[in-house]
Amino acid sequence: MSPGPVRGATPNRRLGSVRGVSVLSPPGRRARPSAPETSRLSSAAREELRRRLLGLIEGHRVVIFSKSYCPHSARVKELFSSLGVECNILELDQVDNGASVQEVLSEITHQNTVPNIFVNKVHVGGCDRTFQAHQSGLLQKLLQEDPAYDYDLIVIGGGSGGLACAQEAAVLGRKVMVLDFVAPSPQGTSWGLGGTCVNVGCVPKKLMHQAALLGQALTDSRRFGWEFSQQVKHNWGTLTEAVQTHVGSLNWGCRLSLREKAVAYVNAHGEFVEHHKVKATNGKGQKTCYTAAKFVIATGERPRYLGIQGDKEYCITSDDLFSLPYCPGATLVVGASYVALECAGFLAGLGLEVTVMVRSVLLRGFDQEMAERLGSSLERLGVRFLRKFVPVAVLQLEKGSPGRLKVVARSTEGPETVEGVYNTVLLAIGRDSCTKGIGLEKIGVKINEKNGRIPVNDMEQTTVPYVYAVGDVLEGKPQLTPVAMQAGKLLARRLFGGRLEKCDYVNVPTVVFTPLEYGCCGLSEERAAQEYQRENLEVYHTVFWPLEWTVACRDNNACYAKIICNKLDNERVIGFHILGPNAGEITQGFAAAMKCGLTKRLLDDTVGIHPTCAEVFTTLEITKSSGLDIMQKGC
């Protein structure tokens, strides 16, 4: 039984294996014998094992560390059986790495023998001490002292990952609370339940992306025979009103879903004040404390500022753009992240003058050939790139909606400075994790001090056994909504449903929703060369011309596709990349194929659907190593 007010719940009786950490057998069953251990644990593995053991002790009512042949262990098991108490038994002689488990356990308890018994997280001791506790009545008292927490689980953060975890835990019969609070941006923007994706990320971004595509479709339509005489113009107010109406409906849907699953939702800022206890502060400053057996940190990230004169006073971020009450006009986008390029793309697609100021490279961490091709597609749309410059000051020239701002920028390669005047400056230089100010240091949860992200093990467990984390706050994991949702759902199932499945962070597909979309799955060419050596790779590539673009007379060399194959593994596809229309829809299907071990031969054996863009991957012939030209000549 897990700590908390819920009774009669079936416990999770298995401790997943990592680096030889044992499997916990259900009561009355023995683990299968395993090979004897052959090596001592490294310091990192020892710390990981210690964390797992503490989590096991933390999460179960009675834990007996035993050996199957030990008569003293048998006596203790019989005692608890006679009391009708369900126990979780770890047979150290019949599990992998049992000696190391016992060694780490002795460090925790200062007891070198078995049985080693814990009741409601209290170390009772061995056989003699357990029987003494039984005779004195102490054991019965300990068994009754199942901590009366307010909740089985409190999730701090109401974004996609946190909500997925909370709702799944509630479906599994647990008492769950969600604490969510959005601090207004420096420009005063705030929003409702649902996190970044719903309010200021994926959803409004995709809708504005669609608005830009419709503008291009209007231009193309004349070539397809559509005639219209009236002047076509875009109304920013109409767009933002429609977008915010839809976002509002999603906010309500999130709240309704929590209500239907009996998840308590409190619009308040959560902060740990001591172990198993958080203080919730609402917008009026009212404070309430809650306790829980387990916690999940899902606080996400917020846009980073430059730390220069005028940045917070006059600049906006993606937090503000999608509900901006006026058309941004001539816009300077600072940054080269996917957020920066997506925003630059749809603003240009709406007919605005857009400049992108880039400190170093486009789309750091993505395939750089694809990034440069994407940049070229934006330039053809009219976006101007100012490379190797960073802003040093933002000055207001005129107030207004929009006003006029002067930006002073300095070269990253020398003393040169430039100035420019814009109506709006949009910062998209990265994001900072929202892990400061929530009391993690008070309970010992470690974070990366440089970026605020939380290191976790493969079970999303932090350095404190009863605290877990999902979503963008994780160190070294993909920062994507579907990843957070999957991780949150699987975490709840492991904690409360007796399941073992872990989130797979390998080969996660993603798409940059610029006007010409870029989809990818697996490794970039640079990363593949590092991991497999370039001589072991074969890269198949081509440009392609969508049929829809032919009549519209659009560029016949803009769209590009490539796959990166490992020659030493039957030409298995380890990198998939496409720049073209509907790249998101295309990439999703091929991502599933890559999970199944997609090879070049399987692609060749697949019959393409004609005429589509996706079929280009079934006919790839030219390799980079051949040196053959892939560019199309003529129209």
Which of 123, 134, 269, 610 is flagged as catalytic? Answer: 610
Q: Helix 338-349 to helix 202-221 angle, to the nearest 10 degrees?
A: 40
Kind plus residue range of the DSSP H or E element containing 411: strand 404-411
Q: Measuring CA to CA, how many Å separate 4 from each of 26, 85, 197, 294? A: 21, 17, 32, 9
The CA angle 479-181-174, to the nearest 5 degrees, is 80
Spacing of C-alpha 596 from chain mean position: 22
**Exposed, middle or buried: residue 237 (CB in 10 Å: 0-12, 13-18, 19+)?**
exposed
From CA 463, how far away is CA 47, in angstroms rounded?
A: 9
From CA 345, how far away is CA 375, in angstroms rounded?
A: 10
- The pTM score is 0.81
Q: Which of 174, 240, 133 is nearest to 6 (CA)?
A: 174
Name the percent of the chain lying above pLDDT 90.
79
Are 63 and 124 within 8 A, CB to CB? no
From CA 266, how far away is CA 270, in angstroms rounded?
A: 9
Chain segment 58-96, per-residue pLDDT in tens = 888 899 999 999 999 999 998 888 777 889 999 999 988
Question: For the residues of 198-261, what is the DSSP string, one character each?
Answer: HHHSHHHHHHHHHHHHHHHHHHHHGGGT----SPP---HHHHHHHHHHHHHHHHHHHHHHHHHT
Judge if the upstream peptide bond of residue 611 is cis by omega within 30 degrees of 0. Answer: yes
From CA 579, how far away is CA 376, in angstroms rounded?
A: 11
pLDDT band at 47 (very low <50, low <70, confident <90, very high): confident
Which of 129-138, 314-323, 570-579 is predicted with the least confidence, judged by mean pLDDT? 129-138
Chain segment 294-322, per-residue pLDDT in tens = 999 999 999 999 999 999 999 999 999 99
Tokens at 21, concatenated: 């950490």
For residue 500, what are the contacts with CB-CB under 8 A and spacing of at least 6?
14, 16, 494
From CA 432, how far away is CA 632, in angstroms rounded?
A: 43
Q: Is the per-residue pLDDT at 18 higher than 80? A: no
Specify the pairing of strand 518-522 against strand 331-334: unpaired
Q: Is the per-residue pLDDT at 7 higher than 50? A: no
Q: Is the per-residue pLDDT at 401 higher than 90? A: yes
Give just the sign of the alpha carbon dihedral 538, 592, 207, 299. Answer: negative
Q: Which residue has the higher pLDDT, 125 or 427?
A: 427
From CA 532, how far away is CA 528, in angstroms rounded?
A: 6
Beta bridge partners of residue 423, listed in sequence order: none
Question: For the residues of 464-499, what is the DSSP string, one character each?
Answer: STTEEE-GGGBTTS---HHHHHHHHHHHHHHHHS--
- Asked if 577 is an active-site residue, the reply is no
Are 431 and 472 within 8 A, CB to CB? yes
Chain segment 365-375, per-residue pLDDT in tens = 999 999 999 99
From CA 399, how far away is CA 403, in angstroms rounded?
A: 5
Residue 2 pLDDT: 35
Instruction: For 275-383, list the strands marked E by DSSP.
Output: 277-282, 287-297, 301-303, 331-334, 354-358
**Exposed, middle or buried: residue 40 (CB in 10 Å: 0-12, 13-18, 19+)?**
exposed
Q: Which of 165, 201, 168 is nearest to 182 (CA)?
A: 201
Name the percent of the chain lying above pLDDT 70.
93
Q: Is the per-residue pLDDT at 9 higher than 70? A: no
Give just the sign of the alpha carbon dihedral 179, 184, 190, 194. Answer: negative
